[in-house]
Structure 1
Amino acid sequence: MAYTSANQLELLQTAEAVAREKNIEPGLVVEAMEESLARAAKSRYGAEMDIRVSIDRKTGRATFTRVRTVVEDEELENYQAEFTVEQAKEYMENPEVGQQFIEEVPPVELGRIAAQSAKQVILQKVREAERDKQYEEFKDKAGTIINALVKREEYGNVIVDVGAGEAVLRRNEKIGREAYRPNDRIRCFIKDVRREQRGPQIFLSRTAPEFMAELFKMEVPEIYEGIIEIKAVARDPGSRAKIAVISYDGSIDPVGACVGMRGSRVQAVVNELQGEKIDIIPWNEDMPTFLVNALQPAEVAKVVLDEEAGKIEVVVPDEQLSLAIGRRGQNVRLASQLTGLDIDIMTEEEESKRRQAEFELRTKLFMDTLDLDEFFAQLLVSEGFANLEEVAYVEVDELLVIEGVDEDTASELQARARDYLEEQAKKAMEAARALGVEDSLANFEGLTPQMLEALGNDGVKTLEDFATCADWELAGGWTTIDGERVKDDGVLEPFDVSLEEAQDMVMTARVLLGWVDPDDLVTEEEEGEDAETETEEAEA
């Protein structure tokens, strides 16, 4: 039976008008109307009934139907919308569970309350359709630059009009003390687009490093075409920035291309970023070389890289120290962000003092432990011996190159070093036992008595305790908190245990305890090797 109380085309005309006004599909509005009419019908026939409405997309004719589903006897709960196989036999031939019986019911006249309810459903559906459309439009634009119109400012946050809706430029995403008035044009980077309960939220930024990268892409055709690549960006928004670039065409200078004729290209970016000074730096695969470039305009005398710790030591002439560090540490901080390394800067004088202190410390170690005079101990240090293990277990020939050392002297030196080390190991093992370290851990291959003592002091006393440790808890590591790298001290870090060695020891302990199947480890390693091989072949 069809809904005929109103002009049948009126529904379609209304749907098209709403769709045109909101710039959404007319079909979505018609679906909202069907849902609202069905809701009104349920209020008349009963909320438990499964009433559905279908509007003909050509004629506007609305048909009301009641749907009942065949269910198992024990699953029957809603007597208005479900019935058993036996009950269904009155209406259907050979009914089966899951089948539906559909019959038309008389149309419902919309009363004042029902009409209001229907209107709310339609408005809700239209609003949801608008939100979906806005989200779909902007979800793929994340990571790009947009030109927008300022609408208003709320608590320091700028609300802008982006055409299909609004976006927000938060206070901490503005450069310095930027202030905007309604109807100002603003250029921003779309940082994030999220689908939330109140609708899609579009978050903008002018402080993000990616904003600068996108601006350069707009100003430098070679970047847009992929001839030049931006490898890294570090910013102190509104003040200073560093950008690392590389050219894949030997005839094109990446720095010169980004600067432009008389600085025109970089100046356009600087103007957009409120006068932010920009250092354009050539990228280099060799990290020390890249760092020397990153610390410009300061001159660097020497670089020492510790890749495992992610640290780098830089030695600069005394007069270059303040320039290398920069005002309030800005230059070294940006260079650190650009390279992803912790940078320690020292002057040549400071490095000389540190080396002298290390020399004296090692000299005293050999004097105290090997019962040597100062001159002989200094000879050992000068030849590159840094600890007792090196003296005790090095090839005798390496000791014989020291002036005044013959075979008897070398043997005596090694014997003294070994005796001292064995005595220290014995004391460490006694201390470990006193701390409660058990045989299961003491007999584990790869752990020295000194390591066992350190583990015992940290509460690791059994093989089970050791197997539950994370690799970084043993070897140490670095954690990034609020953009700052923070050092995590490892229990075995003083013994120069690397992260890979810590991983191997922990996994071995887990295999011994039966927590991990060794076959699984072999499979994972093979998969990793296969992946590396495929990557290398692809690169080749």
Structure 2
Amino acid sequence: MSREILLLVDALAHEKNVSKAIVFAALEMALASAAKKHFQDDLDIVIKIDQGTGNFQSFRRWLVVPDDSIENPARQIALSEALLREKNLLEGDYIQESMESIPFDRIGAQAAKQVIFQKIRDAEREQNLSDFLERGEQIISGVIKRLERGNAIIEFGKIEAVLPRDQMIPHENLRMGDRVRAYILKVDRSARGPQLVLSRTSPQFLVKLFEQEVPEIEEGVLEIKGAARDPGFRAKIAVKSNDPRVDPIGTCVGMVGSRVKAVTNELAGERVDIIQWSDDIATFVVNALAPAVVSGITLDEDSHSMDIAVDEDNLAQSIGRGGQNVRLASELTGWHLNIMTVEESQEKSEEEATVNCRLFMEKLDVDEEVARILVDVGFSTLEEVAYIPLEEMLEIEEFDRETVEELRNRARNVLLTDAIASEEKIEHAAEELLDLEGVDMELAQQLMGKGINSRDALADLAADDLVELTGVDFERASAIIIKAREHWFI
């Protein structure tokens, strides 16, 4: 039998293009599975094959567990008993003893054969997948082999991949036998079926299609900086030219639109806007909103948003059907874009200017004229007045050095006073919370970080709310809430 084993391993390894080690491992598992069928108890049997001679030995083994934790005596052994047989064993180790090899009857041989071929198929699939991934391809072209619960199983070469229903382009009617291209979205090694998950809706699919259609991208003359899609309807892609002599938009469009048309046809008629990228974010946003014409932009870097002013005639085009144009432009640029008319933008600016003017008048104790000057030159917070470089403030024509220094000192004093008041408020809140039984400093800080700054605010919570906010156990949360509410009933 030993010679037969070696011949079998050689044949399977050669036929299935897998290593002999994988075949030996599968064979050992198969023989062990067949041997177990000769026993009524669920024994843990291990087979070891000598890869040089083909001889094999059978062992029965037990998992070492704590003395009071034995659940399956056929497979587990108490630590104290295991130490009597072999020293230096720990919980989680295995102890084994040799047993007589079992002769395999027809049923056992059939079971072993099934296990072997299943393991070989798994290994073959993994080997084919690894060979494919090493090539670095990100778009595959294959034939739909079957449809399962709305998902398409696509075969290319010796590999099967799945195109989920939610990764198909809407309104696209794919059928068995159709040839399709798709982007490799991820590799799911936990799946028993196809391990490659594909997508036809990913923005990266659009990027890779352009890379295939436009040789200048592969050559490094052009560079794709981003893409956004409403699959099947409209997309935007930002391109940059690394050669000032090359027009990025015209190059991607191609002669008579041939290149962009090839991409559009692959995407079931999806309209693609090619946008020229710019490192100036305002210019990039204006380009991204094309063909709409932008009249003005106001940036708010803190909230990473922009107010976009457009003429009334351009409003509908800027927003797009169902907000499509502004949504895609926002995804492409990474900024939240607020579209409004020029009149609305002016009203908003005036409202903000009025609020800031009142802030400076109240906090800096200045008249409306001084406050208005600060607003008109672009100041909107006390922090800006207090800490902007002195040289920049001295550039304001209406202010001399003495006025500038006085304004800066007043702003700093107000900020310091507010910080002290805020710290005192936090300390008072912490003391109030710490007075409650069951609340320690760590929990008090968690609560204040969530805006719970008083006993009453804590009392308004349910125990479930406190558990969700802080992660404390339900019993402790219930006791704390009861303590927080005690003063309501006294």
> What's the CA shift string for 1:511-531, capped at 9, x where partnerless?
xxxxxxxxxxxxxxxxxxxxx
User: Which among 145, 149, 158 is matched to residue 152 of structure 2?
Assistant: 158
Instruction: Look up the match of 1:77.
Output: 82
Structure 2 letter corresponding to 1:449: A
Instruction: Look up the match of 1:333.
Output: 327
Q: 1:452 to 1:227 in 2, by over 3 A?
A: farther
How far apart are residue 77 of structure 1 and its match? 3.0
Q: 1:255 to 1:234 in 2, by over 3 A?
A: same
* CA distance in 2: counterparts of 1:360 and 1:303, whole angstroms: 20
SS in 1 for 2:292: coil
Superposition pairs of residues 244-259 of structure 1, within 5 angstroms: 244-259=238-253
Aligned length: 412
* CA distance in 2: counterparts of 1:52 and 1:256, whole angstroms: 66
Q: Does 1:128 align with 2:100?
A: no
User: Which among 372, 375, 382 is matched to residue 384 of structure 1?
Assistant: 375
SS in 1 for 2:175: coil
* CA distance in 1: counterparts of 2:104 and 2:129, whole angstroms: 34
Instruction: Look up the match of 2:69.
Output: none
SS in 1 for 2:244: coil
Q: 1:369 to 1:190 in 2, by over 3 A?
A: closer
* CA distance in 2: counterparts of 1:206 and 1:231, whole angstroms: 20
Q: 1:387 to 1:348 in 2, by over 3 A?
A: closer
SS in 2 for 1:252: coil
How far apart are residue 389 of structure 1 and its match? 5.9
| Higher mean C-alpha displacement, 460-469 vs 269-278 | 460-469
SS in 2 for 1:181: coil
Superposition pairs of residues 4-23 of structure 1, within 5 angstroms: 8-9=3-4, 11=5, 14-15=8-9, 18-19=12-13, 22-23=16-17
SS in 1 for 2:82: coil
Instruction: Look up the match of 1:243.
Output: 237
Instruction: Tell me, yes or no, if the aligned pair for 1:243 and 1:279 is still in contact at 8 Å.
Output: yes
* CA distance in 2: counterparts of 1:393 and 1:25, whole angstroms: 71
Q: Does 1:449 align with 2:421?
A: yes
Superposition pairs of residues 46-57 of structure 1, within 5 angstroms: 52-54=48-50, 56=52
Instruction: Look up the match of 2:457.
Output: none
How far apart are residue 210 of structure 1 and its match? 0.4
User: Which among 136, 146, 153 is matched to residue 140 of structure 2?
Assistant: 146
Q: 1:371 to 1:63 in 2, by over 3 A?
A: closer
TM-score scaled to structure 2, two decimals?
0.68
* CA distance in 2: counterparts of 1:232 and 1:380, whole angstroms: 43
Q: 1:167 to 1:49 in 2, by over 3 A?
A: closer
* CA distance in 2: counterparts of 1:235 and 1:26, whole angstroms: 47
Structure 2 letter corresponding to 1:352: Q
How far apart are residue 39 of structure 1 and its match? 6.0
* CA distance in 2: counterparts of 1:367 and 1:109, whole angstroms: 98
Structure 1 letter corresponding to 2:224: I
User: Which among 167, 184, 188 is matched to residue 194 of structure 1?
Assistant: 188
Instruction: Tell me, yes or no, if the aligned pair for 1:63 and 1:107 is still in contact at 8 Å.
Output: no
How far apart are residue 146 of structure 1 and its match? 0.2
How far apart are residue 63 of structure 1 and its match? 2.0
Structure 2 letter corresponding to 1:377: E
Q: Identical aligned pairs, as a percentage?
A: 38
Superposition pairs of residues 114-513 of structure 1, within 5 angstroms: 114-140=108-134, 144-196=138-190, 198=192, 201-361=195-355, 377=368, 380-382=371-373, 384=375, 447-450=419-422, 453=425
* CA distance in 2: counterparts of 1:106 and 1:418, whole angstroms: 93
SS in 1 for 2:261: helix
Q: 1:288 to 1:124 in 2, by over 3 A?
A: same
SS in 1 for 2:265: helix
Q: Any stretches of 5+ residues in structure 2 without a counterpart?
A: 62-78, 89-96, 435-439, 454-490
Q: 1:392 to 1:347 in 2, by over 3 A?
A: closer
Q: Does 1:63 align with 2:35?
A: no
| Higher mean C-alpha displacement, 113-122 vs 21-30 | 21-30
| Structure showing greater Rg | 1
* CA distance in 1: counterparts of 2:48 and 2:384, whole angstroms: 90
Structure 2 letter corresponding to 1:63: N
* CA distance in 2: counterparts of 1:391 and 1:255, whole angstroms: 41
* CA distance in 2: counterparts of 1:328 and 1:203, whole angstroms: 30
* CA distance in 2: counterparts of 1:78 and 1:123, whole angstroms: 39
Structure 2 letter corresponding to 1:125: K
> What's the CA shift string for 1:250-305, capped at 9, x where partnerless?
22222121111111111110110111111111111111111111111112222222
Structure 2 letter corresponding to 1:311: S
* CA distance in 2: counterparts of 1:218 and 1:301, whole angstroms: 37
Instruction: Tell me, yes or no, if the aligned pair for 2:330 and 2:336 is still in contact at 8 Å.
Output: yes
* CA distance in 2: counterparts of 1:52 and 1:159, whole angstroms: 38
> What's the CA shift string for 1:35-68, capped at 9, x where partnerless?
5446656878996787533365xxxx64244789
Q: 1:179 to 1:353 in 2, by over 3 A?
A: same
How far apart are residue 340 of structure 1 and its match? 0.7
Q: 1:54 to 1:267 in 2, by over 3 A?
A: same
Instruction: Look up the match of 1:534.
Output: none
Structure 2 letter corresponding to 1:307: E
Instruction: Tell me, yes or no, if the aligned pair for 2:235 and 2:328 is still in contact at 8 Å.
Output: yes
Structure 1 letter corresponding to 2:181: R
